[in-house]
Chains A and B, each alone.
Chain A
Amino acid sequence: MIDPPTAARPPRVPGAQTTGRQVVVFADAADEPVDWSAAGISDVADSRDFASGRVPAQAMRDAGATVFARLGIAVVAAGPDQVAALRGARRPVLSVSPELVHHVLPEDPSAYVRGYRDGVADLAARLAGAPVPGEEPPLPPPFEDTAAATWGIQAVQATTSPFTGQGIRVAVLDTGLDLQHPDFAGRTVTAESFVTGVDSAQDGHGHGTHCTGTACGPRVPPAGPRYGVASDAEVFVGKVLSDEGSGDDGGILAGIDWAVANGCAVISMSLGADVAEAHPPYSAAGRRALEQGSLIVAAAGNNADRENGEFGFVGAPANSVEILAVGALDPRLTTAWFSARSLPVPGGEVDVAAPGVDVLSTWPMPDRYNTISGTSMATPHVAGLAALWAEATGRRGFELWATLTQAGRRLTEPSVDVGSGLVLAPQEGAGTVSGRSRRA
């Protein structure tokens, strides 16, 4: 299981040296003056008073307080007894922490020797057939679907997120949606077909309805567990694949163009072709979408067969530099057997991973629900999570991309398979400086 984000902060390493000074972080970096005299501090050095904004080291040593105006941070020569007065300063103070002494990390001449010893020990153990110490930690229990939520929704911590994608437009470009599906009754759905000769975005395949459900399904479905991430997002359904599941660039690019023009912050594309080279029109589309505030997430591909030693490769459009590629995880958070591995070329990386094995979501009526696997199922998890982060932080385009990778839970799986790891939902306080400092 993943620890909730409210878990106790890790203990500071014992013996960390402090200087006796305090580091004060203000709630904002505004120009509001600080009444230092209230804390008995005089002789304030402000970075704005020095040429080129640089405070000389000597001035810093002598000053009662050194203010780094651009950062909203001050280093103050104050004992613990004065800390209370600093907290009471007129300008809101976020935190007061002892100034730490940092050292160059020590060189360890014995490291090489120890590495050699460990290597020999490892080889000996392998030859003897014994398990290598430390190589295989006990597996955590796998996630499981419960009556309340699918395993994937639990794994990405959508269940504990206060964010719902409210005010965010999410486009799902796929085989369409079952427009009469009861789980989407009452939702704002804008649907358009880009398939030649097909007027309605009604889904006659199922794939698009499944992906739309994962990205945008309701917080409390009328029947069964929760399976959707961004329950209040505004849904844009672009049918770019026929009911037979096929489509070409013309319709797909038209769908991207429509989604960007409609201000969709996130565009989910659980589709791809098994070509190992980036396709220039998708690279251009991805870049221009990012520039206009739309992030495209795409399935890495299912062309691996890992049990038989085939690792596959990230196909188009996911292998464009400007498009976020999503790999699939199973309930143990290990790489799904079919999930494609990174290509060794720019853009060919798997950027992040998400639940993609035994994923329950919506299916055209009368089936209502279906449980299937694929990087296609992982992708809309990430699209929904991107909508939550867009709502929480206001970030768009590449900033939103960076936020998703930064917020990913690192996994012990190879980065060529899972990139930055499992994308997680923003929790209470995410997106604000105060929230960050609580979690840090």
Chain B
Amino acid sequence: MVSPLARFSVTVDDGHLSELDSVASALRDSGMEVERVLGTLGVITGQAPADARPSLLAVPGVTSVDEQLRVQLPPPDASVQ
């Protein structure tokens, strides 16, 4: 059975900031579909099967793998926004 895709943010440690691209390719090898490599922040975002989290976390240089949060504003006519 295939695990459904989830959206992840992967945080890279200080020691690997200069090697973000190789961290990203290791994440791809671990099943992540990389969407963005954010060079100034050291964060890589994309999608992966929900059960791939442990293997993403095992990639050298990765300090945290978190499912993306979703933000939802109230509708434009709400008095409190």
Q: A249 CA to B7 CA in the complex, in Å? A: 9
Contact with A along B33-66 (1 / 0, CB 8 A): 0011011111101100000000000000001101
- Is B81 in contact with chain A by the CB < 8 A criterion? yes
Contact residues, A233-280 vs B (CB, 8 A):
241, 245-250, 252-254, 256-257, 260-261, 270-273, 275, 279-280
Residue in B closest to A210 when the chains form the complex, CB atoms: B81
Q: A46 CA to B45 CA in the complex, in Å? A: 58
Query: Which residue in A249, A292, A373 is a CB contact (below 8 Å) of B45?
Result: A249
Residue in B closest to A259 when the chains form the complex, CB atoms: B40
Q: Which residues from B are CB-within-8-Å of A241? A: 71, 73
Query: Which residue in B11, B35, B45, B71 is a CB contact (below 8 Å) of A280?
Result: B11
Q: Which residues from B are CB-within-8-Å of A284? A: 11, 41-43, 63-64
Q: Which residues from B are CB-within-8-Å of A316? A: 69
Q: Using known A-B contacts A207-B81, A280-B64, A373-B79, determine if residue A248 contacts B42 with beta carbons closer than 8 Å.
A: no
Q: Using known A-B contacts A246-B73, A249-B9, determine if residue A254 contacts B81 with beta carbons closer than 8 Å.
A: no
- Is A376 in contact with chain B by the CB < 8 A criterion? yes
- Report the contact-size class of chain A (Cβ under 8 Å from the partner): 35 or more
Q: Which of B35, B43, B78 has the most CB of A within 10 A?
A: B43
Q: A246 CA to B74 CA in the complex, in Å? A: 9
Q: A289 CA to B43 CA in the complex, in Å? A: 12
Closest-CB distance, A295 to chain B (whole angstroms): 14
Q: Which residues from A are CB-within-8-Å of B74? A: 245
- Is A342 in contact with chain B by the CB < 8 A criterion? no
Q: Using known A-B contacts A373-B81, A374-B80, determine if residue A245 contacts B41 with beta carbons closer than 8 Å.
A: no
Q: Are B68 and A248 in contact (CB under 8 A)?
A: yes
Q: A88 CA to B80 CA in the complex, in Å? A: 59
Q: A272 CA to B7 CA in the complex, in Å? A: 17
Minimum-distance CB pairs A-B, first 4: A245-B73, A249-B68, A280-B64, A281-B9
